[in-house]
Structure formats: structure tokens, C-alpha cells
């Protein structure tokens, strides 16, 4: 059964399922961190009245980096709100449009439409009087025929009173009202290129910067981020969306200190040195990421102590020792693999192997080798280099865990390494793709004999060629095979980043970490 281009079935029949718990743990930790407190965003876009309530962000509010599959929000994040929710739940606290959930926004941006019901216009008026900042043009009529034509005249008169005029001024105009203001005219209410519904993000961004509100996170590496805030903590989920390692300096908008890195891969927490105060209530610090790596950076807003000077926190990556093999590799013959173990003198991509049983193999293969260690006392990682796609590592009989994302490495516990004869076992799983391609090859038809296990035909044999089947022939006979297996290089590397003994990220489940 296949879902075509719409996803995959997430169940026990996946090749990597015996190792999937590590990924599920990662998702659970990320989800738990992203449930803390409230989301932080600066801009609130109001959707137009009337169906459908579909929000399309301004084109320039999203990144457009080459290779982007998902376009990210830029440095001043945004949310959207429907007219009904704004009417029923919005209020102003200290100049921010706020909601009972705790979400708050520095500016409310109206859609560039000429209609608004009297009820919604009255709500906008009240929010501005209470201290909100609103960006938008005045409405000229109601979208409803209720009370027509008097209602249109009432909307126009109220809009003229709030905005001071109905014709858009050439330059930016700030119309004060009560404790708040309405901004319009000039670039601030001009739609961006390709947009018709909202003013350009660039003009809103410029006003926020001028008002002294820096970006939530800025860097020279185009990092993806999302911030949550609790009573005590600022939590930033930060990710490198590129396929290359990244070292950069990032600036966080936070009044916290004592930053920590919460690693959702293994649940560990460690301090991040090298942070220093910057302008407008921000902190800057060096960060490093493996390709496609992400983690949570946390600042404690109630901690005390002076900030440290900026100093890079970059672990050495030079190998202490490369583990070159040879490797004994066992494939599962049930899925077309060789009956006997195969020796790999060096690590080899299965898809390039001369044996069809390896070239088209999908499933789990077990690599084993012996090696001597140069030092048994040093703190070391076992780095697998490149893995396609998931691996479980066992060293001297001890399970060191599963790796499914870069960097593919595990920590070696103290006392586990031996000077001589270390036994290393690495189980590697790829996806079903290559086996499906192999089953499309013409020579694979009716090449093996199977037996019926039960029923009227129990014990009788029949000819079969395929190891797999699907309701759609997604891979074709000539489809490109995917790189598979342990590609390495496998090496011992130093673990020289400072570690913090803690209860770990999993402790977020405790009541003490939940906001009241």
C-alpha cells in the first residue's frame, strides 16, 4: 500500500522500524520544548471579513533562499487573526495587542481592502485608544448589506475621524488616537511586489526597527528559528536548513542570560559560553551546526551574573583514529541479500556494489569489525561519517544508541574502550526504494521458489520474483538508486565541548517546567 506522493505509511513494515524510537524521542522532546509558554511574534495580520478566511503572508515576509522547500518567516515573526477572534478576544497591554493565551503583538496590520463592518471598525478604534499601533488604510464602506446605505456612510465618517482623511497621504503619517496610533501613507501601506492584500513586510520591519524593536533572531547564516517564552525562560528552536556545516554569530532578542543548548537528539543540556550583550536588549553569541542540525537555545531571564566575552565554542573535529576495517557485513537473505557474510575491505555504497543482492538491497545490514584504541581515558565520540540512512551502534556489547541525522556520532562512555580488541557492531537501515527498483528489473521475474505456509495449498511451492509490491509503481526499472549503507569514514574524535550534568531535556515533563 502506498500513499503516492502524499507521504508514507508510518508503521512496523518500514525497514528502519526497529530503530525508529530514537526519532520518536527526538520529536517528543522538540514538541515538549515547543509547548512551553507562548509563541513570540511581532506582527499580527488581520484577515479580511467574509469567507474564506485564508491567510497569505506578504511575499517579502518569507525567506526565498535557493533550495528552500519551506519558506521561513523573517526576523520579525508574524501571526494572523480572523476578525471574529480579534473582536472577541483582543485587548491591549502595555502597547501590545494581546490575547488571553499570552500571545502579544507590537503592531496590527490591516488588509488593504476598502470594506469593514462597523463592529470591527469600533474594535480597531478601541484597540488604538488603549495603546495599540495599527498599520492600514481607512475603509470606505461595509462589506454587508445590513443597514445599507446608511451603514456605508457611518463607516466612512468613522474612518475619516480615525484616520483624519480618506485619501492616502504621499508620506508616512502617524495619526494619534488615545494612547495609540494609526500609521499609513508612504511606503508603510504600499503593497510589496506581487502582493495585493497587505503592505510590504519591509516597510513594517523598518518601522519596528525604528521603534527600537530588533529582530527576534538575526544571523549571517539564514537560520530557521521559532521562539517560545515562559515566565522564566526564552526558548529558541534554531536550525540550519542547509546541507553544509555552519559556523556563525547569532543575535538573540532576550533579556535573559546563562544560555544553554538543549539537544533534542539525546536529551542533554550544556552551557553555551561566549555570549555578550549587544544593542537594544539583545545578546550575541557564536553558534555551530552540522548539516541540517537543529537544537534549542535557552536563556534564563531570572539568572544573575556578568556575561562572558565572545569566544567561539567549536569542538575539534580532527580524528584521533580512523577505523578503516575490514568490515564483515551480514545482509538478510529474506530480502534478497547474500546468504553468507560479505567482507568490505573499505566502506562501500550498496547501490554501487556488483552483486545485485547488495545493489538492490533494502533492510538492515550488520557491520562488524575489531579495532585497537590509542587512548582509553580520553573523552571520545564514535563518528560514523556518512550514514544512509539510520544506524544503531554497539561497542563491546553495549548499545550506544541510534543515529539518524548528522552528525552521525555517539558518545563513548568512560571505561568502555579497551586498548586491544574492541568489538564494534553497526546496524544500518536504508529505505525500501532500492528493493522496489530491483523488483522492477526484467530478470527478477519468477526467479525464486516459495512455499505456501497454510491453507489448502500448504507445503506446495510456487514461483515468485518480487520481494516487495506496491499499489503504485513509483520507482521504475531505470530509476536512480539511492545511496545506502555505512559510508564513513568511521573514526574516534575528541569530545571537548563542556558538558553540564543535568536531568536533561526530558525533565521538561516535570511540573516545575510548566508555566502557570
Residues 6+ apart with CB under 8 A from 339: 333
Q: In 360-513, where does DSSP find H-type helix?
A: 433-438
Alpha carbons within 13 angstroms on the beta-carbon side of residue 407 total 19
Report the alpha-carbon distance of residue 32 to residue 253 in Å, rounded. 22
pLDDT for 496 equals: 57
CA 100 to each of CA 78, 91, 157, 473, 516: distance values in angstroms, whole numbers, following the listed order: 18, 9, 32, 51, 13
End-to-end CA distance of the chain: 46
Report the alpha-carbon distance of residue 401 to residue 411 in Å, rounded. 9
If one counts every other C-beta atom within 10 angstroms of the C-beta of residue 460, the result is 10
- Decide whether 217-315+500-513 matches 321-494 in CATH topology: no
pLDDT for 317 equals: 57
CA 355 to each of CA 325, 335, 336, 482: distance values in angstroms, whole numbers, following the listed order: 20, 14, 11, 16
Could you say which DSSP state residue 158 is in? Answer: H
Report the alpha-carbon distance of residue 433 to residue 95 in Å, rounded. 55
If one counts every other C-beta atom within 10 angstroms of the C-beta of residue 505, the result is 26
Report the alpha-carbon distance of residue 201 to residue 494 in Å, rounded. 45
pLDDT for 43 equals: 97
pLDDT for 209 equals: 94
Considering only CA atoms, which of 311, 317, 297, 133 is closest in space to residue 224? 297
Considering only CA atoms, which of 27, 31, 35 is closest in space to residue 10? 27
Q: Is the peptide bond before 218 cis (omega within 30 degrees of 0)?
A: no
Contact of 440 with 374, CB cutoff 8 Å: no
pLDDT for 123 equals: 97
Domain boundary assignment for the chain: 41-210, 217-315+500-513, 321-494
pLDDT tens digit sequence for 275-301: 888 888 899 999 999 888 999 999 998
Report the alpha-carbon distance of residue 140 to residue 460 in Å, rounded. 82
| pTM score, whole prediction | 0.84
In SS3 terms, 106-149 reads as CEEECCCCCECCHHHHHHHHHHHHCCCEEECCCCCECCCCCCCC
Alpha carbons within 13 angstroms on the beta-carbon side of residue 254 total 31
Radius of gyration of the chain (CA): 30
Furthest-apart CA atoms within the chain: distance in Å: 92
- pLDDT by position in tens, the chain (length 516): 577 777 778 999 999 999 999 999 999 999 999 999 999 999 999 999 987 778 888 888 888 766 666 788 889 999 999 999 999 999 999 999 999 999 999 999 999 999 999 999 999 999 999 999 999 999 999 998 888 888 999 999 999 999 988 888 889 999 999 999 999 998 888 887 677 889 999 999 999 999 999 999 999 888 999 999 999 999 999 999 888 899 999 999 998 888 999 999 989 898 988 888 888 889 999 999 988 899 999 999 887 765 444 445 555 557 789 999 899 999 999 999 999 999 999 999 999 999 999 999 999 999 999 999 987 788 899 999 999 999 999 999 999 999 999 889 999 999 999 999 999 999 999 999 999 999 888 876 556 666 777 888 788 876 667 888 777 777 888 999 999 999 999 999 998 543 333 344 555 544 334 333
pLDDT for 6 equals: 78
Q: What CATH number does the domain located at 217-315+500-513 have?
A: 2.60.40.1180
Report the alpha-carbon distance of residue 435 to residue 357 in Å, rounded. 9
Q: Which residues pair with 262 in a beta bridge?
A: 269, 296
pLDDT for 497 equals: 46
Report the alpha-carbon distance of residue 287 to residue 297 in Å, rounded. 10
Range 393-418 burial, b when 16+ CB lie within 10 A, else e: bbbeeeebbbbbbbbbbbbbeeebbe
Q: Which residues pair with 391 in a beta bridge?
A: 403, 428
Helix (H, G, I), strand (E, B) or coil at 257: strand
Helix (H, G, I), strand (E, B) or coil at 26: helix
pLDDT for 148 equals: 87
Looking at the domain 321-494, which fold is it?
Jelly Rolls (2.60.120)
Report the alpha-carbon distance of residue 438 to residue 498 in Å, rounded. 47
If one counts every other C-beta atom within 10 angstroms of the C-beta of residue 238, the result is 22
Pairing, β 409-411 against β 461-464: unpaired
Crossing angle (nearest 10°) for helices 118-129 and 150-163: 20
Q: What are phi and psi of 28, to 5 degrees?
A: -65, -45
Contact of 75 with 110, CB cutoff 8 Å: no
Pairing, β 43-46 against β 78-81: parallel
Amino acid at each position: 500500500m502506498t500513499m503516492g506522493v502524499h507521504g508514507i505509511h508510518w508503521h512496523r513494515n518500514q525497514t528502519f522500524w526497529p530503530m525508529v524510537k530514537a526519532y520518536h524521542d527526538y520529536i517528543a522532546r522538540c514538541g515538549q520544548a515547543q509547548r512551553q509558554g507562548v509563541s513570540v511574534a511581532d506582527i499580527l495580520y488581520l484577515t479580511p471579513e467574509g469567507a474564506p478566511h485564508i491567510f497569505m503572508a506578504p511575499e517579502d515576509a518569507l525567506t526565498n533562499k535557493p533550495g528552500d522547500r519551506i519558506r521561513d518567516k523573517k526576523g520579525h515573526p508574524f501571526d494572523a487573526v480572523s476578525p471574529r477572534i480579534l473582536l472577541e478576544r483582543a485587548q491591549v497591554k502595555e502597547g501590545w495587542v494581546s490575547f488571553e493565551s499570552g500571545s502579544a503583538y507590537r503592531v496590527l496590520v490591516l488588509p488593504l481592502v476598502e470594506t469593514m463592518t462597523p463592529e470591527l471598525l469600533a474594535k480597531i478604534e478601541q484597540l488604538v485608544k488603549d495603546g495599540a499601533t495599527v498599520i492600514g488604510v481607512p475603509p470606505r464602506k461595509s462589506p454587508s448589506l445590513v443597514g445599507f446605505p446608511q451603514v456605508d456612510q457611518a463607516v466612512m465618517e468613522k474612518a475619516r475621524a480615525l484616520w483624519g482623511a480618506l485619501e492616502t497621504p504621499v508620506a508616512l503619517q502617524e495619526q494619534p488616537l488615545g494612547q495609540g496610533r494609526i500609521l499609513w501613507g508612504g511606503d508603510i501601506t504600499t503593497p510589496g511586489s506581487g502582493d495585493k492584500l497587505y503592505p510590504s513586510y519591509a516597510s513594517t520591519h523598518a518601522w519596528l526597527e525604528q521603534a527600537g524593536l530588533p529582530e527576534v533572531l538575526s544571523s549571517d547564516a539564514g537560520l530557521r528559528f521559532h521562539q517560545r517564552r515562559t515566565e522564566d525562560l526564552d526558548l529558541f528552536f534554531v536550525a540550519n536548513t542547509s546541507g553544509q556545516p555552519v559556523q556563525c554569530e547569532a543575535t538573540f532578542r532576550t533579556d535573559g542570560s546563562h544560555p544553554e543548548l538543549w539537544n533534542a537528539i539525546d536529551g542533554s543540556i550544556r552551557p553555551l559560553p561566549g555570549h555578550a550583550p549587544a544593542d537594544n536588549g539583545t545578546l550575541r553569541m557564536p553558534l555551530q551546526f552540522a548539516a541540517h542540525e537543529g537544537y534549542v537555545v535557552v536563556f534564563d531571564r531570572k539568572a544573575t551574573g556578568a556575561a562572558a566575552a565572545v569566544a567561539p565554542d567549536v569542538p575539534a573535529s580532527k580524528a584521533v583514529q580512523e577505523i578503516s576495517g575490514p568490515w564483515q557485513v551480514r545482509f538478510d537473505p529474506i530480502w534478497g541479500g547474500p546468504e553468507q557474510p560479505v567482507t568490505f575491505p573499505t566502506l562501500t555504497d550498496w547501490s554501487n556494489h556488483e552483486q545485485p543482492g547488495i545493489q538492490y538491497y533494502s533492510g538492515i545490514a550488520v557491520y562488524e569489525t575489531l579495532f585497537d584504541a590509542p587512548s582509553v581515558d580520553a573523552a571520545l565520540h564514535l563518528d560514523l561519517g556518512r550514514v544512509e540512512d539510520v544506524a544503531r551502534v554497539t561497542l563491546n556489547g553495549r548499545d550506544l544508541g541510534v543515529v539518524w541525522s548528522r552528525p552521525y556520532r555517539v558518545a563513548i562512555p568512560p571505561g568502555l574502550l579497551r586498548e586491544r580488541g574492541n568489538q564494534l557492531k553497526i546496524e544500518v537501515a536504508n529505505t525500501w526504494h532500492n528493493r522496489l527498483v530491483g523488483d522492477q528489473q526484467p530478470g527478477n521475474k519468477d526467479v525464486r521458489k516459495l512455499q505456501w505456509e497454510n491453507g489448502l495449498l500448504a507445503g506446495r511451492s510456487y514461483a515468485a520474483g518480487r520481494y516487495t509490491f506496491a499499489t503504485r509503481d513509483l520507482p521504475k526499472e531505470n530509476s536512480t538508486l539511492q545511496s545506502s549503507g555505512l559510508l564513513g569514514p568511521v573514526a574516534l574524535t575528541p569530545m571537548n565541548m563542556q558538558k553540564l550534568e543535568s536531568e536533561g531535556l526530558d525533565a521538561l515533563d516535570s511540573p516545575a517546567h510548566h508555566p502557570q
